[in-house]
Amino acid sequence: MLILVGQGNPGDKYAGNRHNFGFMAIDAIAERNGFGPWRSKFQSQVSEGNILVDGRPVKALLMKPQTFYNETGRAVSEAARFYKVDADQIVVFHDEIDLAPGRFRMKQGGGHSGNNGLRSIINHMGPDVRRARMGVGHPGDKSRVMSYVLADFAKADQDWANALLDACARAVSFVAAGDDERFQTEVLRLAPAPKSDPRKTNASDS
């Protein structure tokens, strides 16, 4: 079983936030790949289905934890225990302020870079979870980060945000095949974005 997790906060008031980019990615993957209906399990909204890899179905669980962003690890670890899944079979889609808007990077191992949702997952599962880092840019000042990620995407952001979501959904077979490098390459091919933030902020492409 492959577990794909989106980071976000439950409830309508958070639905359009930058912090809910992970939820949006999971929704896009579910829709494009014909996953089953959403239901409540593992302190999450979950959907089961298959991702085709060279015509072969790979069973996957999509998760949108309802624990709130900073406690994502509680839900993820519950599902992992149930399915006896190791950390490297978990892919976490999340907003990333240290990447320019629309940029995308896969990462495995290392620290959480101040992302409290990742901190929670690492605390519960260890550092080997795979991270799909979806760039949203940086507000330019550390003191503004929280209000920035808890604000909705601006209208000017919709084109690149939707392009990145669609690219993740279209290329997800590479994640299911375990080829994160190819997934990253394909997402960037389908949804190209500047390496530097056109708003001239402090975002970096690291």
**Which runs of consecutive H residues, i.e. helices, occur in 84-197?**
116-125, 145-149, 158-170, 172-176, 180-190
**What is the DSSP code (8-state) at residue 151?**
S
Query: Is this prediction's pTM over 0.75?
Result: yes
Q: What are phi and psi of 122, to 5 degrees?
A: -65, -40
Does some domain include residue 200? no
pLDDT at 16: 96
Q: Which CATH number characterizes residue 54's domain?
A: 3.40.50.1470
* Active-site residue, from 19, 94, 124, 138: 19
Structural domains counted in the chain? 1
pLDDT at 195: 87
The CA distance from 54 to 38, in Å, is 26
pLDDT at 199: 67
The question of whether 19 is a catalytic residue gets the answer: yes
The CA distance from 43 to 140, in Å, is 34
Does some domain include residue 101? yes
Which amino acid is it at 7? Q
Q: Which domain holds residue 60?
A: 2-190
Does some domain include residue 161? yes
Does some domain include residue 147? yes
Does some domain include residue 128? yes
Closest CA to 98 of 130, 66, 133, 63: 133
pLDDT, block means (10 residues), the chain with 206 residues: 97 96 98 96 97 96 95 95 96 95 92 82 92 94 93 95 98 97 98 82 45
Range 196-200, long-range pairs (CB < 8 A, 24+ positions): 196/100, 197/100, 197/101, 197/137, 197/138, 198/100, 198/101, 199/101, 199/137
Does some domain include residue 198? no
pLDDT at 152: 97
Does some domain include residue 199? no
Please provide the average confidence, as pLDDT, over all residues in the chain. 93
Does some domain include residue 203? no
pLDDT at 112: 73
pLDDT at 203: 42
Q: What are the pLDDT digits (tens) for 50-93? A: 999 999 999 999 999 999 998 999 999 999 999 999 999 999 99
The CA distance from 77 to 124, in Å, is 6
